[in-house]
Homo-oligomer: A and B are copies of this chain.
Amino acid sequence: MSDIDISTSKPVSTFRVRYSETDKMGIAHHSSYVLWLEMGRVEWLRSKGLSYRELDDGGVSLPVSSLNVNYKVPADFDDELDLYCELIEAKSRRFTFSYKLVRKDDNAVLVTGQTVHIPINREGQVIRCPSDWLEKLR
């Protein structure tokens, strides 16, 4: 699995853990990280000049076909987090993003993850990703 080198990368998003994202254990619920990864890839795309909103409004969506998260250190309420994201595979019918979530305070790596995406149209059929998108992604 690709490992993101945070010493040479810039976070795509920096944010704080919301109270609503915690659970009874006193830490961020494990599903909260899934929301953050999604936010991160939207920001990664924006940083490449690509608007996921425009793609989606134009009828092409990139649903998650596979999700993989490894939890190492829990995030607390109000922790400030840096999310790193990289596209590690870009085929016309398959994209893979890799993620690393780091606590700003102490540089602890909280979570690593990967998501695989398959482009679909409004009818839910698998399609090829628009070629202008593919070029920018690569």
Contacts and interface: CB of A to CB of B under 8 A. Distances in A.
Contact of A23 (B20, B53, B70): B20
Q: Copies of this chain, how many?
A: 4
Contacts of A68: 67-69
Interface residues of A, number: 37
Contact of A71 (B23, B31, B64, B70): B64
Given A19-B42, A20-B39, A53-B77, 11 more contacts: A18-B39, A20-B34, A22-B23, A25-B56, A25-B63, A30-B63, A30-B64, A31-B34, A53-B78, A66-B69, A67-B68
Interface of A: 16, 18-20, 22-27, 29-31, 34-35, 38-39, 42, 51-53, 56, 61, 63-71, 74, 76-78, 124
